[in-house]
Structure 1
Amino acid sequence: MDGLGSLKQAGCKLIYIDGSFCTAKEVPGDFDVCWDDTPVDLEKLFSLAPLLFDFEQGRAAQKARYLGEFFPCSFIAAPPATLYLDFFQLDKNSGGAKGIIGLQL
């Protein structure tokens, strides 16, 4: 099963997409998904897709399996307290705000 299917089965209702997939690049290199973890049965999700919790080696296992990366919205991306959902909305070059794509599952 793919990552989004596993998220949906575990109760996820909303994801946000970022990465080069959301740019003007003709051939995007990857995608990044930030998923709303508030309604998710985390135990069920872990049994369906344990790689979604594997952040070792720069998320290498996620990239190999799904060709992209998955981050829970409420987890801290950057100390001291920047959540992944907020981090996704920052332009990495300018530090300014940017839009992301939200999708209901």
Structure 2
Amino acid sequence: MTAPALQHYCCNMIPALVPISGSPWDVLPPGTHAATLAEVETAFAYNPWRRVLYAGLIEACASLVRAGGRTVILDGSFVSAKPVPRDYDACWEPDGIDFALLDPVFADFDNERAKQKARFGGEFFPSTMVALDIGRVFTEFFQIDRFTGKRKGILSIAINTDETVLRRMKP
């Protein structure tokens, strides 16, 4: 008797990008889509600059996990079809965070978050913080296309259980 062959199935949970009339790039369809960082890498870290941004995202996520972080919401042109995004936008859930362990760079919003961008390649906001532009929390603000005002999607990443982050944190 021979051992049965194993089939491995992989499903990408990140949906295909969709066009929005009036927006220069395709974006995620409306909604909050669960994703892993490995899936983010496969879908969006496909050129040298995007890989630099992705590496910064991994570093930021590991730092947040060290402080008790559980979830990061990812947005911006990085999760669009824009070939060379300037950066990425993210917010982190404050539930479970030990603020004594949180890297102070996550609370530095000076000069358009220059220190965050220099260190991680993107900018981070607490998810419960209100975006002054529209008077809504960042998880809502991120779901509005800046060119058209129409709804678009975001990614939710459970960083405290994500294999990519956990491997990065091992000594």
TM-score normalised by the shorter chain: which range applies?
A: 0.7 to 0.9
Deviations 1:42-78 (A, max 9, x none): 2211xxx211110001011111111110111001112
Across the aligned residues of Structure 1 and Structure 2, the Cα RMSD in angstroms comes to 1.7
1:39 to 90, 93, 96: 96
TM-score by length of 2: 0.56
User: What is the SS of the residue equivalent to 1:102?
Assistant: strand
Give yes or no for contact 1:3–1:52 (8 Å, CA) kept in 2: no
Query: What code does the residue aligned with 1:13 have?
Result: R
The residue aligned with 2:64 is: 7
1:94 aligns with 2:148: yes
Query: What code does the residue aligned with 1:10 have?
Result: A
1:74 to 128, 132, 136: 128
Whose radius of gyration is greater, 1 or 2? Answer: 2
- Identical residues among aligned pairs (%): 40
What 5-or-longer segments of structure 2 have no aligned partner? 1-57, 160-171
What 5-or-longer segments of structure 1 have no aligned partner? none
Structure 2 CA distance for aligned equivalents of residues 18 and 12 of structure 1: 18
User: What is the SS of the residue equivalent to 1:5?
Assistant: helix
TM-score by length of 1: 0.87
User: What is the SS of the residue equivalent to 2:100?
Assistant: helix
